[in-house]
Amino acid sequence: MLDDAPFTPESSKEGILQRLRDRVDGDGSTDEEDVLRAAQDAADRLKKLRREVEPGKVALAGLSLIVLLGLLMSGWYWMLPRDGLTLDTVYMQNGGHIMMSEIHNTGSRAVTDLEVVVSFEDEAGEELGRMSVFLDVLSAHSSVAGDDLEMKIVGHTVWANYTVQTSVSWTDYAGQTHQETWRHDVGTWASEEFADRTDRRTWPF
């Protein structure tokens, strides 16, 4: 039997575990190197994306969207046939009872045969004062106030409760007539404000 050659294993600083990883990975790369390589790839992609997506283009796209939404809203406000009236009334106690009103046409079409009536009543329901105005036409997005919608009532105590009744009648864009009435109790406070809004309608819906 011949003498076998002496067993002289090759020394390695990496150890058996590293050699097993090299066999599995094939390229000898470590997990840390893979992570670094993936991070570098992501950074390269981000730089490329920044070059392609310019801040100016993003700002221009946002501005275009705002303009488009503005056009849509203005089209609804100005063009779409709508009906809407608002009667603002202010009540004050100042040397008597003072009332001032203003009628607004918030719709996109004119109304006709418009009549506004504001009356002041005591607790027994007796009418102490009245103001009214009649308009053949009230244009869209316009309002009317003035002497006919102002009144002062003297000779009645400010220590009692009263009722302000407001009424609006009109013919809308479609030729239909409407009337709405509201009642507000006053006297508790020296100054009060009311905003009476009619039912809103939109055509052809």
What's the whole-number mean pLDDT along residues 99-119? 94
Domains of the chain, earliest start first: 15-78 (no CATH), 82-202 (2.60.40.10)
Q: Predicted confidence band at 51 (pLDDT cuts at 50, 70, 90)?
A: low
Q: Predicted confidence band at 197 (pLDDT cuts at 50, 70, 90)?
A: very high
Higher-pLDDT residue of 59, 156: 156
The confidence score (pLDDT) of residue 36 equals 73
| Lookup result for tokens 């719709």 | 107
Q: Predicted confidence band at 157 (pLDDT cuts at 50, 70, 90)?
A: very high
Q: Predicted confidence band at 8 (pLDDT cuts at 50, 70, 90)?
A: low
Q: For the chain, what is the largest distance between any 2 Cα atoms, rounded to a whole number of angstroms?
A: 143
The confidence score (pLDDT) of residue 204 equals 60
Q: Which residues contact 146 (CB under 8 A, 6 or more apart)?
A: 133
